[in-house]
Amino acid sequence: MVLAVLTTVSERKREVIAQAALTLFASDGYERTSVDAIAAEAGVSKRTVYSHYGDKENLFLSVVRDTYEGMLARISEIVEHTAWDGDLRVTLTSCVTAITRSMVRAPERSTLVRLLMAEAPHFPALIDLLRSRSVIPLLAAPLARLAAAGRLAAADPAQAAEHLSALTFGQVSNSSLMGTVPLTEDETVRLLAGGVQAFLRAYHASG
């Protein structure tokens, strides 16, 4: 019982430190953010920060990785719970709409985007993360099943997923300037519907 309580307290401290670090890294940049400032923002001692993360670089990489992985996990759940046996246009629209809303409503998304744009060139590990883990494989899996069933003409499901992403999330991201300018619900719906329509023109199986 005591061990469980201590573990919970430790996990909460780690979460608080991570949130403080994400906020400060995004606002002040990696170089200008000190461990002292992170500790103060989190309301913990500097020693506590080091005990959880070792050093500032590991803290930075851990925070970015965990935040990014958390967003992908939510997207994966959406894809897995999508009913892929229904009407293709309705199914794809429903899926990309749910993913877009998840991304837009995630308070950490714009923070993460700014952070990655500013710091990724200095951290090869971040570039490797973005290349190895993305929404594309998550979408490619159901598109591959649809192609195998003869419902999509997609010889390369990964490329099809890239096109679907670019035509939907990409359009929303571009129009909102990476989430910095809020779009209306009508505008988002229009962009996603148009993207799905364009995707199906290219990939819908004939006959």
Q: Across the strands, what pairs with 152?
A: 204
Within a domain: residue 198?
yes
Within a domain: residue 4?
no
| C-beta of residue 77 within 8 angstroms of C-beta of residue 143 | no
Within a domain: residue 186?
yes
- pLDDT confidence tier of residue 81, bands split at 50, 70 and 90: very high
With b for 16 or more beta-carbon neighbours within 10 A and e for fewer, the 19-47 pattern comes to: ebbbbbbbeeebeebebeebbebbebeee
Within a domain: residue 185?
yes
Give the side-chain half-sphere CA count within 13 A for 76: 10
| C-beta of residue 108 within 8 angstroms of C-beta of residue 64 | no
pLDDT of residue 6: 43
Q: What is the CATH number of the domain that holds 135?
A: 1.10.357
Which 3-state string (H, E, C) describes the chain?
CHHHHHHHHHHHHHHHHHHHHHHHHHHHCCCCCCHHHHHHHHCCCHHHHHHHHCCHHHHHHHHHHHHHHHHHHHHHHHHHCCCCCCCHHHHHHHHHHHHHHHHHHCCCHHHHHHHHHHHHHHCHHHHHHHHHCCHHHHHHHHHHHHHHCCCECCCCHHHHHHHHHHHCHHHHHHHCCCCCCCCCHHHHHHHHHHHHHHHHHHHECCC
Within a domain: residue 35?
no
- 148-194 pLDDT, tens digit each: 999 999 999 999 999 999 999 889 988 877 666 778 889 999 999 99
- CA-closest candidate to residue 144, choices 133, 156, 132: 156
- 22-71 pLDDT, tens digit each: 889 888 889 999 999 999 999 999 999 999 999 999 999 999 888 888 88
Within a domain: residue 166?
yes
| C-beta of residue 24 within 8 angstroms of C-beta of residue 38 | yes
pLDDT of residue 5: 43
pLDDT of residue 178: 65
What residue numbers bound the domain in which 154 lies? Answer: 83-202
- pLDDT confidence tier of residue 78, bands split at 50, 70 and 90: very high
Within a domain: residue 175?
yes
pTM of this structure: 0.82
In angstroms, what CA-CA distances link 12 with 6, 23, 106? Answer: 10, 17, 20
Q: State the total domains in the chain.
A: 1
Within a domain: residue 157?
yes
